[in-house]
Amino acid sequence: MRRRLKLLGMSFRPTRAWALPLVLAGLLAGCAQDGGSGVQSAKLSMVQGRGKLVCGVDGKLPGFSFVGPDGRYTGLDVDVCQAMAAAIFGDASKVEFRDLNSSERFAALASGEVDLLSRNTTMTLSRDAPGGNALSFAPTTFYDGQGMMVPVASGITTLKALAGKPICVESGTTTELNLADRMREIGVAYTPLKFQTGDQTYAAYLGGRCIAVTSDRSQLAAKRSSFPNPEAHTLLKDVMSKEPLTPATTNADPAWADAVRWTVNALIQAEELGITKANITSKVAQAKANPNQPDLRRFLGVEGDFGKQLGLPADFVVKIISAVGNYGEIFDRNVGPASKLKLDRGVNNQWTKGGLMYSPPFR
Amino acid sequence: MRDPQALLDPLDRPPWWRDRRVIPWLGQGVVALLLLVLIAFLLGNLVHNLTTRGMLLSWRWLGQPAGFDISETLVPFSAEMPYWRGLVAGLANTLRAVLTGLVGATLLGTLAGMASFSRNGLLRGLTRTYVETIRNIPLLLQLIFWYFVVFLSLPNGTAALQIPGVVLAKSGLYLAGFGQGMHWSLPQLVNGVWQAPLRLSVEFAALISGLIIYSGAFIAEVVRGGIASVPKGQWEAATSLGMGWFATLRHVVLPQALRVIVPGLNTQYISLAKNSSLAVAVGFTDLYSVAETTLNQTGRALEVYLLLLGAYLAMDLVISLLMNGLNRFVQIRER
């Protein structure tokens, strides 16, 4: 005879109850504790084992990350992901892209769903600090500033003229906070309309619900290029903030963050040295033939062990430049003269040409 | 000498490890122990991993200035106020949407439920079409439709839709009411901008339209089920006493149907309260929207989600409690 028994108000058949902890234990098998990372990056080993890099991007921002009609991702942010894949695998195609909205991005990175966040993300103190979002930022890949876009027909030319008007903004962005700060400074009351995704934000703006939309100036220019009637919209002159858009990893794995940092530096350094996708092969041949160019030889991995120190192949720089070109090429192709956005290099030029792009030495 | 208890037993009791009265308890004890160990392991794992990532629970951020604005609030809020004030303002907005939704959906659902028993075939047909269409389309799609397709294509200014006392424009829904000095006033156009004592944003209007119409369809089915549960004889008896269709429904059928309707209604009310968090899709700043911004600024994902879970749980439990009270009230009381 079997008897029913009550435990915590539930009735169990004694024999069946034995199975419960077994099932739960089985479920738990996958949730082992996180191991600490040693010299070798745990994340890098994991990515190598998986055979591909998972990269978080916006996916809907022309010039930075955008899915073309052929289903391929292109853009400045995308090229950073591909440079990283080239550095690890020697193959820029070994990337899986994850579209993330601004609210999801940090959780996706913190939980390990993406290895690298290359999604027009502004570097700030609170996002960097261990007590905040605890990210680890690579070098900035695009120096931007916040702007405001209005329809030309509205006749609005200053921020003050936006008093009492609804302004569309994407929630969970630095732009949302900068908007509140700037408007408070100039003492203008306004109505913020917040949307979870860029698509909804721009749909509401185009639908005429708000008189202005605010975001990074590059993003506004990019979105405008995909509007049905781009000439009908204009950017106000005011630059409301500094927005250094920067790839990020988590604080948890400094060795992985280093690999990302020096991959981005390699893009910038290659431009400074005049190494391009077109001449990389001849540069390597030149470095191999000429022992009197130690800088070039070290940079291209002909001598020294810089790659190994980062846990990457010795010739990771060669792989990167062969795959995506140097920073200048990436800029021109995606957001510069060769693109629809036609943005000026401006502060994004090399430091030797009066810009902010500066790679620390490879030595 | 044998103890007296054993003397009463016709058979000797077996040793405890073979005793049928002991074994099940033993089994349960072991299971309970394993469960406790499991929970301790999970908690330990959580604390360990959170500590290594520096993410242990902390609530100090609640008192820091929020730095963001909220466009429409019942309680005063501005960017220099702390996060907790922002969350309270968000909660107030959620409650406003939920309460309006509950009242509207109940009215619409009851009417539609009653109409499905109407003698008018057209009305019955319309009701069935409404229920079957709305029930089978996801709420998120409906909300986006209401906001982006319906409300955002409304005209502005003088071209706005006007019925006496109500103006429907892209900038909002304007209603007549008691304005300054308790004077009854109608919506007016001042310098190309509508002014009225009562203004609802189109975001709020889109949210409650979606919630009311969606939940109304489910409530209509609950009401229909309740009415159908009343035996046909009750209708016939009332009709033979000379009562009309509406009087029968009002005095004979509905009071009996309520017993069946109220528990079903409880479920619908709870899901309406939870569905209100879809407000983010249409730009209405509810609790979830504020929480999401907060989470992004502070990086305190665990704490923010715990607060959110707590708030929605509490809201639903209160609804349940009230509905259970109502349920006891409408049940047949046995004497």
Task: Please compute the mean of the pLDDT values over residues B252-273 and round it to a whole number.
Answer: 93
Domain check: are A114 and A159 in the same one? no
What is the arithmetic mean of pLDDT over A22-37?
A: 42
The predicted pLDDT at position B118 comes to 86
A69 & A215 share domain: no
Find the mean pLDDT for residues A302-313.
93
A227 and A265 together in one domain: no
Give the residue with greater pLDDT, A136 vs B189: A136
* pLDDT given for residue A37 in this prediction: 36
Of B27, B48, B170, the CB nearest to A208: B170
Question: Of A220, A241, A262, which residue is a domain's last?
Answer: A241
Same domain? A227 vs A313: no
Residue A34 is predicted with a pLDDT of 39
pLDDT score, position B9: 61
For residue A201, pLDDT over 70 is answered with yes
Q: What is the pLDDT of residues A42-72, one digit of tens each?
A: 999 999 999 999 999 999 899 999 998 899 9
Q: What DSSP element (H or E) covers B42?
A: helix B23-52
Q: Give the model's pLDDT for residue B48.
A: 83
Of A241, A257, A290, the one marking the end of a domain is A241
Domain boundaries, chain B: 16-56, 83-153+202-330
In a domain, A16, yes or no: no
pLDDT above 50 for A8: no
Domain hosting A166: range is: 145-241
| Whether A200 and A270 share a structural domain | no
Position A26 scores a pLDDT of 44
Give how far A86 is from chain B: nearest CA, Å. 29
Q: Is the pLDDT of residue A32 over 50?
A: no
Residues of chain B contacting A27 with CB distance shorter than 8 Å: none
Q: Are residues A126 and A105 in the same domain?
A: yes
Helix ranges (H only) for B229-286 are 232-240, 245-248, 254-275
Q: Are residues A121 and A151 in the same domain?
A: no
pLDDT value at position B4? Answer: 57
CATH code for the domain defined by B83-153+202-330: 1.10.3720.10
Among candidate residues A209, A131, A126, the one with its CA nearest the CA of residue A172? A126
Please tell me whether residues A165 and A91 are part of one structural domain.
no
pLDDT higher than threshold 80 for residue B218: yes
Domain termination residue (choose one: A241, A275, A297)? A241
Residue A254 sits in the same domain as residue A342 = yes
Query: How does residue B263 score in pLDDT terms, banded at 50, 70 and 90?
Result: very high
Q: What is the pLDDT of residue B317?
A: 95
Residue of chain B minimizing CA distance to A165: B171
Q: Do B38 and A33 touch (CB under 8 A)?
A: no
**Residue A202 shares a structural domain with residue A296:** no
Percent of residues in chain B assigned helix, strand, coil, to nearest 5: 70, 10, 25
ipTM of the complex: 0.73
Higher pLDDT, A131 or B236: B236
Closest residue to B71, CB basis, from A5, A18, A192: A192
| B126 CB-contact burial (10 Å; exposed 0-12 / middle 13-18 / buried 19+) | middle
Residue, of A22 and A200, whose pLDDT is higher: A200
Other C-beta atoms closer than 10 Å to the C-beta of A16 total: 9
Q: Over chain B, what is the mean pLDDT? A: 88
pLDDT in tens, B111-164: 999 999 888 999 999 999 999 999 999 999 999 999 999 998 888 777 888 888
Closest listed residue to residue A212, CA positions, set A253, A262, A172, A175: A175
The pLDDT, as a whole number, for residue A72 is: 94
User: Can you give the pLDDT at residue A23?
Assistant: 45
Rounding to the nearest 10 degrees, give the CA dihedral for residues A115, A121, A126, A129: 30
The number of distinct structural domains making up chain A is 2
Give yes or no for a contact between B320 and B124, defined as CB atoms under 8 angstroms apart: no
What's the pLDDT tens digit per position in B280-334? 889 899 999 999 888 878 878 888 999 999 999 999 999 999 999 999 988 877 6
Dump pLDDT digits (tens) for A245-290. Answer: 999 999 989 999 999 999 999 999 999 999 999 999 999 999 999 9
Put simply, the answer to whether B170 touches A209 (Cβ < 8 Å) is yes
Integer angstrom CA distances of residue A262 from A41, A84, A120, A258, A283: 14, 10, 19, 6, 20
Does A51 share its domain with A114?
yes
CATH number of the domain at A177, please.
3.40.190.10
Q: Which amino acid is residue A3, in one-letter code?
A: R
Question: Taking residues A11-26, what's their average pLDDT?
Answer: 46
What angle in degrees, to the nearest 10, is found between the helix axes of A327-334 and A76-89? 140
Does residue A31 register a pLDDT over 60? no
Task: Compare CB distances from B152 to A180, A181, A209 and report the shortest one's residue.
Answer: A209
